[in-house]
Amino acid sequence: MARFNALPHTRAVAALLACCGCPRWAERIAAHRPYPDPAALLAAGEEAGYDLTPAEQTRALTREPPARPGPGTLAAHTALRAAHAAYERRFRHAFVISLDGCRDDEKLNQTLHALRTRLAHEPDEERSVAADALRRLARTRLAQLAVICP
């Protein structure tokens, strides 16, 4: 944590933007340094994630790369691409999912299942589900950042 806490503000914000693409979220977390330990950093990220406005959430979601679930058959990846395209047409942002704790051989099926399920959501319901997934992804990335910058 010492290295992260010692980063110049602009570098800390840049590192945080790689965790969640919302500038206010990154600025808020960077401004509250120093953090005594990774748990405090994760708690700050979680709290800031709940304060995203709908516009900030949309911006962060549009900066997310499409989910990459790992190896699988060509047919499954073709289905995945089609489902991603349908999702992006319907909700106008990338599909995000946290696959923490999922074995590599399960990721493709989990992603396809989640895509199919979430395509049936109403836009407001999906916004809530996507916001939760975005917060989980940001938490995972913050935890990795804490390891990289001990």
**Residue 145, Cβ neighbours under 10 Å: how many?**
20
pLDDT tens for 43-54 read 999 999 999 998
The answer to whether the CB of 137 falls within 8 A of the CB of 20 is: yes
The pLDDT, as a whole number, for residue 77 is 78
The pLDDT, as a whole number, for residue 70 is 60
- With cut-offs at 50, 70 and 90, classify the pLDDT of residue 71: low
The answer to whether the CB of 20 falls within 8 A of the CB of 141 is: yes
Global pTM value: 0.81
Q: pLDDT over 90 for what percent of the chain?
A: 67
pLDDT tens for 82-126 read 999 999 999 998 899 999 888 888 888 899 999 999 999 999 999
Distance CA 19, CA 38 (A): 14
The pLDDT, as a whole number, for residue 48 is 95
The pLDDT, as a whole number, for residue 29 is 97
